[in-house]
Structure 1
Amino acid sequence: METADLKLASDDDVAAASWIKPRLSRAFGAVTRHVPQGYAAYVRICHPAENDAGQQVTWSTVAAATGRQAHPTMQWHALVGSPDSLDMIGSLWPGDNPRRGELDPPTLATLCGALAPHTATPETCYFSLWEGHGWLPDGIPARVHHDYRSYILFTGPLHAAQQLGFHPRPDWFIPQSPNLFWPADQAWCVATEIDFDSTLVGGTSELVHQLLSEPALDAWPVNPDDSLAADADLINLIG
């Protein structure tokens, strides 16, 4: 797991994660159950889907194809007309579903590029990885504990977010985006909950405006108390 840029957290580093838990809401499905309260603005980045030709597409493209409506708190299963939020039984979409629990590498790279100018500490960042990833080596302790998840903590510069992952063999690397990451100055925070097919970012209004303007990101403005639970899509109702 360790590289020249990414290392396991020390005791002092773990203390640097203590600010997050007190700022997490307990409201089920809420944006701020996953990314801390107190930021000026929040954005939801929907993970790309793929069409039947293997090309990445936005959720708006899918909504146009399925006769649904794209909106900030849309849910994928409702967008594709399935009553099943897990297995997508009866889906109207012929392509692949968005990834859950991780950003694909190009989207993560675009996000990190947009985040970098909005922190004074891009060389000192913290990356939390959910302890339940099956590929993690035995013996690495989870040292950051929230009410509903425990994480292994790493440190490094912002670009090291793209170094997390594993080697099934020496010539093959499978990346895994962080489940939670932030800079030392706490200027923003990014959360990719393992059960979600979207990523949440809290930060300044200027940062969120930039993310919403980035054509490579399928980004939507959300409020701290907005729900992203499976039943939150009240526009694309099923049945």
Structure 2
Amino acid sequence: MDWIADTSPGDWLRERVDTAWTDASAMHTVVPRGFPAYARIFHPASRSRPVGQPWPPLPYDDHARAWAAFGRSQPQIDTENVTWAQTATTFETRMHPEAQWNRIVGAHDPEQGWQQVRGPEGWQYDAPGEGRMDVAQLAALARLLSPATTTPHHGYAGVWEGYGGLVGFMGETPSRAVLTFSADPTVDDDASLQDRHRAMLGPSTRDPFNNVFRKPTWQPGLLSDEISRGPRLELPQRSYLLFSAGATAFTDASWPDLAPWVSPDEARAWAQTPNVMWPADRAWVVVSEIDFDSTVVAGSAELIAAICASPGLEALPLREGADLTWDGDEVNR
């Protein structure tokens, strides 16, 4: 998986995605048009509950003491992955290709929160991750993608440039650190430290920690400076770093060990999957849009059927032009 400075292999994507973001075409601002069929792969969610006791009540701020006592008890927490279909059954909603998680769990007002929702039997349901597949999910998908192209060893993977710490940037050095001393061991809150810091600086004519004339300097990222300063694959809504990567590069769940955009210190289970990938023959394309909690695959009818039938994936066939915005679920109103 090597970085590619020449992003022209991705020009065809720009020609087949919409330039304006509207609800009617939201899918195609990031997913190319013109393929015979599409599938939506739903990212796994999870649910958890304490053993032998219930969760404290919500919201947190109104029940701080209960949550503090809960933490002191150091409860054992059962956690497990759960499918969208299982969740829909639990909340008595309907699973379908254009389902949205907030509707599945009955959270119709986004301002009320839907990332964590309490369900029956004491389970708390945590929303699926956005912008990335599960590592094992991608491996299962890649095993279906490989035979669906004439170039299984030759392809491309794009990773969104905006992930924190991925690329270098011009900025200021880390914020200041101040060492203070106090004869009173009980005085250690942030406000007191700030007060003493200001008192220390008051008589001074120069604050070396707060120089308003300090100039931005280059802050390195995980990837090399050459990559950080290099060209991007520019699409209407997103900019990606482009790497060479055929489908076969992802067929084993150990693929994060070879991905240059994955930190060696990062747990493999949390590795970032490509946001867009396709083979050299353009037989299919996979898009994990950073704001979507599902991945869309465009390709042949045979490939889409195989994906939807795979036991390792929760996937449904998707119509072209589907609305995948948070309010696009017209069934679970």
Q: Same fold (TM over 0.5)?
A: yes
Does 2:112 align with 1:23? no
Unaligned segments of structure 2, at least 5 residues: 49-77, 169-224
Out of 85, 88, 95, the position equivalent to 1:63 is 88
Measure, in 2, the Cα distance between the counterparts of 1:89 and 1:122: 37
Structure-to-structure mapping, 1:57-206, within 5 angstroms = 57-82=82-107, 83-84=109-110, 87-88=113-114, 91-93=117-119, 94-138=124-168, 139=225, 140=228, 141-161=230-250, 162-163=255-256, 164=259, 165-167=261-263, 169=265, 173=268, 174-206=270-302
The answer as to whether partners of 1:49 and 1:95 remain within 8 angstroms in 2 is yes
Q: Give the aligned CA root-mean-square deviation in angstroms.
A: 2.0
Alignment-mate amino acid for residue 105 of structure 2? V
Structure 1 residues 90, 160: closer, same or farther in 2, change over 3 A? closer
Measure, in 1, the Cα distance between the counterparts of 2:40 and 2:104: 16
Alignment-mate amino acid for residue 116 of structure 1? S
Residue 3 of structure 1 corresponds to which residue in structure 2? none
Q: Deviations over 1:146-183 (max 9, x none)?
A: 111111000023243433343263x8555110000000
Shift of 1:27: 4.9
Measure, in 1, the Cα distance between the counterparts of 2:329 and 2:93: 11
The answer as to whether partners of 1:103 and 1:177 remain within 8 angstroms in 2 is yes
Shift of 1:56: 1.7
Corresponding pairs, count: 229
Residue 36 of structure 2 corresponds to which residue in structure 1? 40
Out of 210, 217, 223, the position equivalent to 2:306 is 210
Measure, in 2, the Cα distance between the counterparts of 1:86 and 1:17: 39
Structure 1 residues 159, 96: closer, same or farther in 2, change over 3 A? farther
Measure, in 2, the Cα distance between the counterparts of 1:172 and 1:61: 27
The answer as to whether partners of 1:192 and 1:199 remain within 8 angstroms in 2 is yes
The structure with the largest helix share of the pair is 2
Alignment-mate amino acid for residue 124 of structure 1? H
Bigger shift: 29-38 or 118-127?
A: 29-38
The answer as to whether partners of 1:192 and 1:198 remain within 8 angstroms in 2 is yes
Alignment-mate amino acid for residue 118 of structure 1? A
Alignment-mate amino acid for residue 28 of structure 1? T
Measure, in 2, the Cα distance between the counterparts of 1:172 and 1:51: 20
Q: Percent of aligned pairs with the same residue?
A: 34
Measure, in 2, the Cα distance between the counterparts of 1:182 and 1:86: 38
Out of 212, 216, 234, the position equivalent to 2:330 is 234
Residue 220 of structure 1 corresponds to which residue in structure 2? 316
